[in-house]
Structure 1
Amino acid sequence: MADSATEPTTVVVDPVKLKALKIKTGVVKRYTKEKQSYEKEASMQRTKIEKFKQEGKDDYFIRQQEGCLKESEMMVPEVQRQLLKSYDELKAIVDEQKGELGGTGEYKTAVQTLDDAKPHLPDEST
C-alpha cells in the first residue's frame, strides 16, 4: 500500500483523440504562419512598387509588380477563412476534451496556439 501512495497516478489518454488534437493544432499553426507570410509579402511588394515608381521604372514593369501585390492581397482573406475553420475545429476539440486531455502538454500547446491565432482571424464585422 505504501507504494501506491508514492506513485503518481497516470491518466490514460485516448491516442486517437490526442493525435487529432496534435493534427488540428499543427493546421492552425500553419495557417497562422501562412497568413502572416502573405501579409509580409504584400507589405514588401508595396514598398518595392513605391521605390520603382520613385525611380521612374517602366510602367509595364510596375503593373506586373502590382499584379503580384494583388495576388498576395487576395490570398490573405482566403487563408483567413481556412484559419477560421481550423480554429473553430480545434476550439471544439479543446472544449470537448478539456477533462480528458487537459493535463497533457499537447492540450496546453493547443490552447496556446488558439491564443496565438486569435488576432489573425477575420474581423467579426465582415
Structure 2
Amino acid sequence: MADPRLRQLTIKTGVVKRLTKEKVVYEKEAVQQKDRIEKLKAAGEDEHVLRKQEEVLQEALMIIPDCQRRLAKAFEELSDFVKNEVELKETKEYETASQILEEAKLQLVKV
C-alpha cells in the first residue's frame, strides 16, 4: 500500500511549485505593464487610458507580496516535512521536493 506521507509530500511539492510559478508570472506581468504604460505615455495616449493602465499595474504589484507570503509559508511547510521525513530520501517524490525547494529558494530571496 502507498505511503500516505508520499501523498502529502507530492501535494506540498505541487503547492510550492505552483506558487513559485505564479510569483514569477506576476512579476513579469508587472514589468510588461510598466513598459506598456511608458509606451502609451510616449505616444501621448488619453489620460483616462493611462489611469486605467496604472490601476492594472497597481493590482499586479499588490498581488506580488501576497504570492511572496504564501510561497514563504508553503516553502517552510515543505522544508519541515522534508527534514522530518528523511527515511523517504530514496523516493522520486523526495528528490522532486528537494529540487523544487532549490528553485523556490531563488524566488524567496527576491523580496
Amino acid at match of 2:108: L
* Other-structure match for 1:118: 105
Q: Which runs of 4+ in 1 moved over 2 A?
A: none
Shift of 1:66: 0.5
Q: TM-score, normalised by structure 1?
A: 0.84
The number of residues matched between the two structures is 111
Deviations 1:15-54 (A, max 9, x none): 1100000000000000000000100100100000000000
* Other-structure match for 2:17: 29
Shift of 1:14: 5.9
Amino acid at match of 2:105: K
Q: 1:70 aligns with which of 24, 45, 58?
A: 58
State the superposition RMSD in angstroms. 1.5
Q: Measure, in 2, the Cα distance between the counterparts of 1:45 and 1:53.
A: 12
Q: Which has the higher contact order (CA 8 A, sep 6+)?
A: 2
Gaps of 5+ in 2: none
Q: TM-score, normalised by structure 2?
A: 0.95
Q: Give the alignment of 1:54-65 within 5 angstroms.
A: 54-65=42-53
Q: State the identity as a percent.
A: 47
Structure 1 counterpart SS, 2:90: coil
Whichever of the two has the greater Rg, that structure is: 1
Q: Give the alignment of 1:86-125 within 5 angstroms.
A: 86-98=74-86, 100-121=87-108
